[in-house]
Structure 1
Amino acid sequence: MTREKLLLLDFDGTLCLGDAPVLFYADRVDALLAERGLSRHLVGSSVHEIVSRAFSANSLLVPQIQYDDAGTPLTVGSEATHEDAKAHPVSWPLQDGYQLVQLLARQAGLTDADSGQSFRAARRDLLAHGLENTDVHAPSGASELLAETRRRAVVVLVTNSPAEAFAPWLHALGLSEAFDLVINDARKPLGMPAALESARGAGGDAQARTAADQVLSAGDIWANDLEHVHALGGTTVLIDRFGTGLGTPDHRVEDFDALAQTIDAWSHSAATV
């Protein structure tokens, strides 16, 4: 049976849940700040402590964020001068914990290249620690939902997570066989157009590419995961954990359970001709 639809899924915050990955990232940033004598810019707190409190309060608008006179956080919108900054610009408004860590790191004096290196090092730390010893987990029913969806649609994972040692993450989450294609190092949002083009040809038929209006993209960051697909006429679902209200998705949901219902209804609907 020809699968005329394409489901794009984000990883962190969508299929990979738990706060440990962000907190391990914060630990690496804290270590680098201490090494360079920059910890003084976060008086009385560490990045780990700030982010932990943000998660407890379910709000990313922590008092440690520094603003200019116009109310814009300092360093946001500064000119990107290297590839890490171009691919992963400092984001505002914030939509997840990773973005909060990056903003705090930049305001304390680190570069986006430093943040990128800290992120990759934190991923290695998590594996060394053992994912089973953290709160990292897949949403309940994710594996079953994706197996059912693949009967009707091509399912592709698009993630900024590095390809290096990524298989253990999928194994730990029970998602090793869940996708037709996994695109790592996607460099979203800059790399999303290229990732979408690769995904549209992942159905196995070299002559058939999924039409843009038959694509559903789901994730927790509007600019990274959804904006490009929305502009092309696809369907978008935003998991808005922190209630930011950002973007103009077709569906805004609070958690994976609501996302699953949307995906199921979409996959069972007739493809538009």
Structure 2
Amino acid sequence: MPLSAPCSARSQSSVTGTVVFDFDGTLCLGDGPVRSYARHAYANLAPKPRYEAEKVLDDYLDDSLPAQTLNTYGWQDGYDVVAYFCRDHMAPSQLQNAYLASRTDLARGFTTSHIPSGMKDFLRKLGALGCRRILLSNSPIIGLRETLERFALTDDFDAIVPDASKPSQWPSHLQAFTKQSASEHLLSIGDYWSNDIAPVLAAGYEAAYIHGCKSPGTHPRATYQAPELPDMYDDIIKGCVSWQR
């Protein structure tokens, strides 16, 4: 499993645990990237289905869709919404090309995005506690790399893993990460339950779920959960301190 990284000089024996971050919806926030994806994908739709797709995406991003609709379709993020409305109207390769075009937009700064408040300080605190900080994303490196550079976060990660194929490749990622850190402690942070949280909990590790507007009681098994990542900073830091005992 390739790791692209500015690797820290920290020895394996000094690592107290591993904290794994998702990218979209966790580190990279804002509707700009998914709206860019929709713009490229919806260009392949006829006017009527395009209007419906745009309306539902707007409602989803505005948190105005009925809970029954969300439960019926199981959408976990805006990318799911876009894919749902396009899957019967275009080849998978067309949808993939739309996604890659949106990543190019992100790389060039054509879409607006931001990081969670206090993120840089949070990453530095984790590093000071001996945590190995890994960015693990299904996104390709294009767009991801430039976003980290734009927000001066590249050097705050010990490893960057694009094209991660979550959730299917979690077993190999977990094996590699714990082996590299010489510690069995691992926490995954993300906003997509089936990609970032469920496989890690099932393997016996910890997870911090960013549930946004969704009910906090939806997934009571998460180690930590809150509407936004900064709401969990203090609890996560306390948890990582306990890894040192």
Task: State the TM-score, normalized to the length of structure 2.
Answer: 0.83
In the alignment, the residues of structure 2 paired with residue 111 and residue 192 of structure 1 have an alpha-carbon distance, to the nearest angstrom, of: 27
In the alignment, the residues of structure 2 paired with residue 115 and residue 198 of structure 1 have an alpha-carbon distance, to the nearest angstrom, of: 31
- Residue equivalent to 2:89: 109
In the alignment, the residues of structure 1 paired with residue 235 and residue 91 of structure 2 have an alpha-carbon distance, to the nearest angstrom, of: 39
Deviation at 1:265, TM superposition (A): 1.3
Conserved? CA contact 1:188–1:224, under 8 Å: yes
- Residue equivalent to 1:163: 141
- Residue equivalent to 2:205: 234
**Which among 91, 94, 101 is matched to residue 121 of structure 1?**
101
Deviation at 1:62, TM superposition (A): 9.4
Secondary structure at 2:133 match in 1: strand
The number of residue pairs the alignment matches comes to: 230
In the alignment, the residues of structure 2 paired with residue 49 and residue 243 of structure 1 have an alpha-carbon distance, to the nearest angstrom, of: 20
Deviation at 1:196, TM superposition (A): 2.4
**Which among 45, 51, 58 is matched to residue 57 of structure 2?**
51
Percent of paired sites with the same residue: 27
Conserved? CA contact 1:154–1:180, under 8 Å: yes
In the alignment, the residues of structure 2 paired with residue 247 and residue 39 of structure 1 have an alpha-carbon distance, to the nearest angstrom, of: 42
In the alignment, the residues of structure 2 paired with residue 242 and residue 192 of structure 1 have an alpha-carbon distance, to the nearest angstrom, of: 26
- Residue equivalent to 2:43: 31
- Cα-to-partner distance string for 1:220-241 (whole Å, 9 max, x where unaligned): 0111011121012111111001
In the alignment, the residues of structure 1 paired with residue 66 and residue 137 of structure 2 have an alpha-carbon distance, to the nearest angstrom, of: 22
Structure 2: 5+ residue runs without aligned partners?
Answer: 1-12
- Residue equivalent to 1:96: 77
Conserved? CA contact 2:22–2:136, under 8 Å: yes
Conserved? CA contact 1:54–1:61, under 8 Å: no
In the alignment, the residues of structure 2 paired with residue 267 and residue 58 of structure 1 have an alpha-carbon distance, to the nearest angstrom, of: 36
In the alignment, the residues of structure 1 paired with residue 118 and residue 145 of structure 2 have an alpha-carbon distance, to the nearest angstrom, of: 20
Distance 1:194 1:17, change over 3 A: same
Deviation at 1:25, TM superposition (A): 0.5
Distance 1:254 1:180, change over 3 A: same
Secondary structure at 1:8 match in 2: strand
Distance 1:123 1:270, change over 3 A: closer
Deviation at 1:262, TM superposition (A): 2.5
Conserved? CA contact 1:181–1:199, under 8 Å: no
> Comparing both chains, which one has the higher relative contact order based on Cα–Cα distances under 8 Å and sequence gaps of 6 or more?
2
Distance 1:184 1:60, change over 3 A: farther
Matched ranges for 1:185-200 at <5 A: 185-200=163-178
In the alignment, the residues of structure 2 paired with residue 39 and residue 259 of structure 1 have an alpha-carbon distance, to the nearest angstrom, of: 43
Q: For 2:113, give the aligned amino acid.
A: V
Conserved? CA contact 2:106–2:143, under 8 Å: no
- Cα-to-partner distance string for 1:17-61 (whole Å, 9 max, x where unaligned): 11100100100111122xxxx44334xx15344312322235486
**Which among 185, 193, 201 is matched to residue 222 of structure 1?**
193
Deviation at 1:250, TM superposition (A): 2.0
**Which among 148, 152, 162 is matched to residue 125 of structure 2?**
148
In the alignment, the residues of structure 2 paired with residue 247 and residue 101 of structure 1 have an alpha-carbon distance, to the nearest angstrom, of: 28
Q: For 2:125, give the aligned amino acid.
A: E
Secondary structure at 2:157 match in 1: coil
Structure with greater helix share of residues: 2
Secondary structure at 1:94 match in 2: coil
Q: For 1:185, give the aligned amino acid.
A: D
Q: For 2:42, give the aligned amino acid.
A: D
Deviation at 1:193, TM superposition (A): 2.1
Secondary structure at 2:116 match in 1: coil
Structure 1: 5+ residue runs without aligned partners?
Answer: 66-70, 73-91
In the alignment, the residues of structure 1 paired with residue 26 and residue 187 of structure 2 have an alpha-carbon distance, to the nearest angstrom, of: 14
